[in-house]
Structure 1
Amino acid sequence: MKKFAVLFVLFILPIVAYLFFASGINSFGKLPTITKTVPDLENFRTATGEKVTLNDKITILAFAGTNMIKNQGNFFNFTEQIYDRNKTFKDFQVVVIAPNQSQNDAKELKSRLSQLTDISGWKMVFGSNDEILQYHKALRLKGKLDADLGTKFFYIIDKKRNLRGRNDEKDYKEGYNTFSPSDLHNEMTDDVKIILAEYRFALKRNNNKRQI
């Protein structure tokens, strides 16, 4: 019996451990696509009338609604846990969609956020209530906007405009709950790291090809 236990520790256990970690790499090494090629922001403009695009950017997409000042804690949580850690990445941006009538609140929110960090990577765009509802519908999400056209969930969009998340039956995640510091600190932090690692690897691979 003792001999069997020694053999198990020396030979069987390492194989089991290898299979476990190998399966983990396959499951979590690439973030699944929830919705392919979401629409660009054609119908939305900044307060100064400028266009914003999702193309060739890693975007965190938010729907602020008309109660963004009341819900500013969600934006502060996200800024501390996610944005501050990734804002130096060249192609990383935050896009906040809000109703036309909330432009003054959006300006106030940006002012408050700017006291905490550099928000040059933030873009706030505005549209009609109907345009916001139609755009959210086009994302083909299970979650809905609230009555104020906002949600506490933020979304990851890759450079090809694919909405990324987790599609496992036990851990389905199309968006990340900014009201929950643990959701941001654990799931969203890890998933943003995966997305950024994908593009760092692709950039390095392309640079190596050019050198060859």
Structure 2
Amino acid sequence: MKKFFVIIVLFALPLVAYLFFASGVNNFARLPILDAEVASLDGFRSLDGNTPAFEGNITILSFPGKDPVDYETNAYHLVEKIYEPYSEFKDFYFISVVPEGNEKEIEVLKQELSTIADLKKWKFVTASEEEIKTLFSSLDSNLELDSDLSTPHVFIIDKDAKLRGRQDDEGAGKLFGYDTGSIAVLNNKMNDDVKVILAEYRLELKKYNQSRKK
């Protein structure tokens, strides 16, 4: 019996552990695509003169609203927890959508943020109220814009302009957006999910490069 028990410990348990962790990798190697086809940014105006687009980039999408300066605390949280750690990754960008006519307020916010980070990967774009509402509606989320067209939540958009998030967030249902007012959410949820989607694309790029060498 002792020999049988030793065999189980030495061989069976490691096999079970391997299968468990392998299953975890399969389940969490990709950040789920949620049920939304995100509208394009055609017609949106970028303050830096470049044409904004979701395609080909991993984008963190935010809606600061009609008074971007009021979004300063949320923006600081994003800079510290998400932007600075990952802004050097290729094809990773932030896009903030603000109602047109608030360009001066955007510049004030950018000036404040520039004291703590290089905003070269953070694009600010303007659009009409209807264009913003159409874009937000296309996310098909369970969230709503406030009356000033703002929300503290930010969204992960993949290179195919699809919304990413969690299908079952701790039994609470789908997680469409991440609350920038909560350090805990940014630390424990969004940070993990950004890591997942970046790793996902790095793996795809590695496979692509390997296939080209064959």
Q: TM-score, normalised by structure 2?
A: 0.89
**In the alignment, is the contact (CA less than 8 A) between 2:66 and 2:99 conserved in 1?**
yes
Partner of residue 164, structure 1? 164
What is the CA–CA distance in structure 2 between the aligned matches of 1:142 and 1:4, rounded to whole Å? Answer: 55
CA displacement, residues 116-157 of structure 1 (integer Å, 9 cap, x when unaligned): 111000111111112111211111111111111111111101
Higher mean C-alpha displacement, 13-22 vs 126-135: 13-22
Paired position in structure 2 for 1:29 = 29
1:115 — aligned with what?
Answer: 115
TM-aligned CA deviation for residue 185 of structure 1: 1.1
Q: Which runs of 4+ in 1 moved over 6 A?
A: 1-8
Contact in 1 for aligned 2:29/2:200 (Cα 8 Å): no
User: Does the 8 A contact of 1:37 with 1:160 survive in 2?
Assistant: no
Specify the code of the residue in structure 1 equivalent to 2:130.
D
Q: Per-residue displacement from partner, 1:29-68 (whole Å, max 9, x unpaired)?
A: 1110013431210131123654211110110000110232
Please identify, of 3-12 and 61-70, the stretch whose mean Cα deviation from structure 2 is larger. 3-12
In structure 1, the partner of 2:66 is 66
Same amino acid, percent of matched pairs: 42
**8 Å CA contact 1:156, 1:163 repeated in 2:** yes
More moved, 17-26 vs 129-138: 17-26
Query: Helix, strand or coil: the match of 1:199?
Result: helix
CA distance in 2, matches of 1:48, 1:118: 14
SS, match of residue 20 in structure 1: helix
- Give 1:125's aligned residue: 125
| Unmatched 5+ stretches in structure 1 | none
Superposition deviation, residue 179 in structure 1: 0.7
- The amino acid that maps onto 2:99 is P
Measure how far apart 1:75 and its partner are: 0.6
Q: Secondary structure at the match of 2:150?
A: coil
**Cα 1:2–1:69 shift into 2, 3 Å:** farther
From the superposition, tell whether residues 204 and 10 of structure 1 become closer, same or farther in structure 2 (CA, over 3 Å).
closer
Instruction: Report what 2:47 is aligned to.
Output: 47
CA contact (8 A) 1:36 1:163 kept: yes
Residues 209 and 4 of structure 1, relative CA distance in 2, 3 Å threshold: closer
SS state at 2:192 partner: helix
Q: Report the aligned-residue RMSD.
A: 2.2
Segments of structure 2 that go 5 or more residues without pairing to the other structure are none
User: Is residue 155 of structure 2 the alignment partner of residue 155 of structure 1?
Assistant: yes
Partner of 2:207: 205
Q: Aligned residue pairs: how many?
A: 212
Counterpart of 1:151, as a letter, is T
Seen in structure 2, the aligned counterparts of structure 1 residues 130 and 13 have a Cα distance that, compared at 3 Å, is same
Deviation at 1:3, TM superposition (A): 9.1
Compared CA separation, residues 158 and 99, structure 1 to 2 (3 A): same
Q: Residues 10 and 211 of structure 1: is their aligned pair in 2 closer, same or farther, counting only changes over 3 Å?
A: closer
TM-score in terms of structure 1 length: 0.90
Q: Do residues 138 (structure 1) and 138 (structure 2) align? A: yes
1:194 and 2:191 aligned:
no
Alpha-carbon distance in structure 2 between the residues aligned to 1:198 and 1:48: 30
Measured in 1, the distance between the counterparts of 2:48 and 2:166 equals: 36
Where do 1:87-102 residues align within 5 Å? 87-102=87-102
Go from structure 1 to structure 2 and tell me whether the alpha carbon gap of 1:208 and 1:10 turns closer, same or farther (over 3 Å shift).
closer
